[in-house]
Structure 1
């Protein structure tokens, strides 16, 4: 498993654990607890989307880098064997 997946998995498990603990130890009435829970879930959702977007951006940069290096290598090989289109 790569680091991005590990981070996302850990984040998700932490979120779930926190939500369960919050429900079990909630000192407030159900309406207030549900509102707080919804607020926290919405915030966690937005944070998760942000992390996923960052991960996608990083992966796209890596893919572009590998692709560019591959093209450079192919061009060098063509030059070394005097390949002509």
Structure 2
């Protein structure tokens, strides 16, 4: 499991734990609790989407790096065996 997935898993478990604890210890009326819960869910969703976008960007950058290294290796091998295309 890569670091990004570990972070996302930890974040999700923390979020779930917080929601459960909040519901169990809520001293307020149901309507007020539901509004707070919806607000927290919306914020958590936005935070999760931001983290996913960051992970996508990081993965894209890493893929570009791997691709460039692969092309460089190919060119080095091609020139070392005097391959004519």
Unaligned runs of 5+ in 2: none
CA offsets per residue over residues 8-32 of structure 1, 9 Å max, x none?
0000000000000001111110000
Report the equivalent of 1:81: 81
Q: Work out the CA distance in 2 between the residues paired with 1:6 and 1:25.
A: 28
- Runs of 4+ with deviation above 3 angstroms: none
Residues 1-85 of structure 1: pairs in structure 2 closer than 5 A: 1-85=1-85
TM-score by length of 2: 0.97
The number of residues matched between the two structures is 85
Provide the aligned C-alpha RMSD in A.
Answer: 0.6
TM-score (normalizing by structure 1)? 0.97
